[in-house]
Amino acid sequence: MPPTHLRSISSLSVKSLFGMYDYVLDIGSNGQSGDEKIAILYGDNGSGKSTLLKLAFHMLASNPKSGHKTFLLNTDFEELVVKFNDGTLVKAVRDGKSISGPYSLSIKRPRKKLLSGAVNTPSIDEDEDFHQIVLPALQDLDWAPLA
């Protein structure tokens, strides 16, 4: 039976994008699900609009060996957080105050245990917790991007 309620993104935030930009984007009305179907990002060229959207897309992608997690490894940011309308949080955080290199990806769903794994190299096969714990949890999110 298909779900009656689709999970959707209610907020997106990033710290130190390119080492200089912090953004918090609230989508919808106070995190409540509603009929919102569109959010508009505007700003100067080079301020990170497209990169922010690409970071969220690649962080939430669950298909392995497609370069999604490598995109995050190769993009400078300190922390990236996506919050869904049901309270689920997906977060990528660098070690310390670094804006590049290895990061931890965690998923916290309401009333469920926090799941996390490290991404240290472009080959997720070497990052066992990520491959065995985090990727299946991303697949289980069953979220629907706006189409």
- In this predicted structure, the answer to whether residue 147 has a pLDDT above a threshold of 60 is no
Instruction: Lowest mean pLDDT of 30-34, 106-110, 130-134, name the range.
Output: 30-34
Give residue 146's pLDDT.
43
> Does the reported pTM lie above 0.85?
no
Concatenated DSSP letters of 17-66: ETTTEEEEEE-SBTTB--S---------TTSSHHHHHHHHHHHH---TTS
Average of per-residue pLDDT values in the chain:
81
Maximal C-alpha separation, the chain: 46
